[in-house]
Structure formats: C-alpha cells, structure tokens
Amino acid sequence: MRPGPSAGGTDRLARALHTLRMRSTFYSHAELGEPWSFEMPSIPDSISFHVLTSGASWLRMPGAEPLELRAGDLTLVPHGLGHDLASSEEAAPGPRVDLLPQDYLTDHYSVLRYGGTGRASQMICGIVSFDDPAARELLRALPPVLHIGSDTVSAASSIRDTLRLMARELSQPQPGGEAVATRLADILVVQAIRAWLASGTGTEAGWLCALQDARIGRALEAIHAEPGREWTLERLARVATLSRSSFSTLFTELVGEAPITYLTRWRMNIAYTRLRDENITAASLATELGYRSEAGFNRAFTRIVGSTPGSVRRGSRGQQPALAG
C-alpha cells in the first residue's frame, strides 16, 4: 500500500505556498459599456485574472462552457490560455485587448474605456507570472479556470475584504490609486490559489499529491533544497527509503515524469530565472547546478527551454518559454 500524506507533507505544502511571489506583467482598469467584447491573448507561463467590481461579463474559452461573471466575482485563467471577455454570451468576438486604444498611466498599468453606451461595467484585468520553480509546479495543478463567485465567498473571508477594498479604490479615485489596486490584485491572486488548495480539489494526484507523500515528498524536497548536488536515482531512492525500482515507479506515477527528468527541468527553471534577472554566466550556473561542463549544461538548457543560455542572458529570448510543462 502506498504511504499517504504525512505531517511532513503538510509542512512541505506550506513552504511551497510561500513561493507564490509574482512578477507583474500588466494591469488594466477597464470601464466598459454594452455592447463590448475583447480577446485576452495566450501568454505562456502566466495567469490572467479578472476582478469584476460592477456590472456583468461573460468569459468564453475554447473547449469550455461560457462562464457568467457577476459583480464581486474573481476569476483566474492559469496556464497562459487565451480567452474572450464580453458583455453577453452571444456577443461577436472583439479585437485583442492590446490593440485597443488605452490611456497608459505607467508602463504596466492602463485605463481602458471601450464599448457602447449601454449598461456600464468595471473590472481590473491583469497578467502575472511566477518565477520560482515550486510556484510554477503549483500552477500546473490549477484547473483551466478558477472562479470564485461573490455568492460563494464568505462575508468574513479575506478575499471578500480585498474585493471590497479594490472596489472602493476604483469608485473613489485618489492619488496612487492604480498602485493600490494592482497590489490588491496581486493579493487576490494568491488568496484565490490558497483557497483552492484549502478546498483539497486537485490535490489527489500530481505534484501536490507527491509533495505531501511521506516518501516521494522527501525526495522532492531534497531536490528543491540542493538542486546542484550530484543526484542519482540511487541517492534519491535512499532519501525516500525505497528500492531504486520502487522509487522510480512511484515517483513517475505521482509526479508524472521520471525523477532525473524532473531534476533537470527543475534546474533549468532556476537557471532561466537567474540568467534573465542576474548578472551571472552559464559557466557559473553549470557549476552551481551540478554539471561537470558548461557544454553539458548548455545542451540541457537549450533542449528544455528552447533558447540558448546566451540568448536569455542578452534578453533576446522573446516570450517567456513554457518551462512548467
């Protein structure tokens, strides 16, 4: 019988939650009048979120039933999936949101006024991403759409309190209001993910389940704590107190990929973020992450990321690659 979640597994999950630190991409305060419709583009390794503070909206995504949004609703679209927002379920597809005229208050914040002269709606839309490898793994476990309706949020909940603060900021504009609204939006995204995790939905399989497993969880945490160690299948199996074959089978069953494949991808997640954000060379990273040669590191990086370390370091990589899948 496979060991179930342990007390240590709960601690490991709690530590993973602390990695939910976002890198903000863009926010927009939308003031909309019926009829209206626009497209949110697909952006790899990102979460789109929408906070409807007044009025009504529909969210439409290929392969899913249209979702009606009401004032006070919070909706997350993980995995960088493209989708439409519209004033009605039947509204014709509209232009891409980044092609609409907007009032750019900063490089990362705009006010969008769009649509007709009918019923007004207001919402905050945003695109954020997570750089920490553990956070990326958490995102893989999220459903295609995470919807928290105003009728399902307890009046005493932290989510409802944050939504009220955001609505107040938008209805009573003050100096610095856009900065407050975006900070509140960041908080809402993390609160929504925590609420989903607390519900237990989706933690029965996959990375979240593996992290809480009494044996595989120990091996995962060992990789996360020392990604540059010279890990082998035998050493990881010893950490999990399993035979090599039993460990490999159980790890692959729970995580969805072989242990060494997971280790390599985890290392490349770290390498990508550090190359992009720090003044560090591929040679230094190769040593830190357990590679005996820079050439071996470069081959692994290019295979998984789809770009060379040099191109990422120079900032000529284009869109962020889909490292999480």
Same domain, 265 and 296: yes
Same domain, 80 and 124: yes
Same domain, 194 and 118: yes
Q: Is the pTM of this model over 0.85?
A: no
Question: How many Å apart are CA 285 and CA 298, to the nearest integer?
Answer: 10
Q: Is 187 among the domain residues? A: yes
Same domain, 95 and 190: yes
Q: Is 16 among the domain residues? A: no
pLDDT band at 320 (very low <50, low <70, confident <90, very high): very low
Same domain, 244 and 98: no
Same domain, 163 and 31: yes
| Per-residue pLDDT at 2 exceeds 50 | no
Domain boundary among 198, 223, 248: 198
Give mean pLDDT, residues 140-151: 81
Q: Is 203 among the domain residues? A: no
Question: How many Å apart are CA 219 and CA 207, to the nearest integer?
Answer: 12
Residue 153, φ and ψ in degrees, nearest 5: -95, 125
**Share above pLDDT 90 across residues of the chain, in percent, rounded to a whole number:** 40
pLDDT band at 155 (very low <50, low <70, confident <90, very high): very low
Domain boundary among 172, 198, 224: 198
Question: How many Å apart are CA 285 and CA 275, to the nearest integer?
Answer: 9
| Per-residue pLDDT at 170 exceeds 50 | yes
> pLDDT tens, 207-260?
878 888 889 999 998 999 899 999 999 999 999 999 999 999 999 999 989 999
Give mean pLDDT, residues 149-173: 69
Question: How many Å apart are CA 258 and CA 255, to the nearest integer?
Answer: 8
Same domain, 183 and 300: no
Same domain, 107 and 233: no
Same domain, 191 and 224: no
Q: Is 321 among the domain residues? A: no
Q: Is 12 among the domain residues? A: no
Q: Find the domain containing 231 and state its range.
A: 215-313
Angle (CA) 281 287 291, round 5°: 115
Q: Is 6 among the domain residues? A: no
Same domain, 190 and 224: no
Of 237 and 169, which is predicted with more confidence? 237
> pLDDT tens, 96-121?
998 999 998 877 788 899 999 999 99
Q: Structural domain tally of the chain? A: 2
Q: What is the pLDDT of residue 27?
A: 83
| Pick from 136, 111, 126: nearest CA to 267 | 136
| Per-residue pLDDT at 69 exceeds 90 | yes
Contact 70, 150 (CB under 8 A): yes
Domain boundary among 148, 163, 198: 198
CATH (domain of 121): 2.60.120.10
CATH (domain of 242): 1.10.10.60
> What does pLDDT average to over the chain?
82
Same domain, 178 and 282: no
Of 258 and 166, which is predicted with more confidence? 258
Of 141 and 308, which is predicted with more confidence? 308
pLDDT band at 284 (very low <50, low <70, confident <90, very high): very high
Same domain, 122 and 231: no
> pLDDT tens, 6-28?
445 556 666 666 666 666 678 88
Give mean pLDDT, residues 174-203: 72
Residue 25, φ and ψ in degrees, nearest 5: -100, -55
Q: Is 116 among the domain residues? A: yes
Q: Is 240 among the domain residues? A: yes
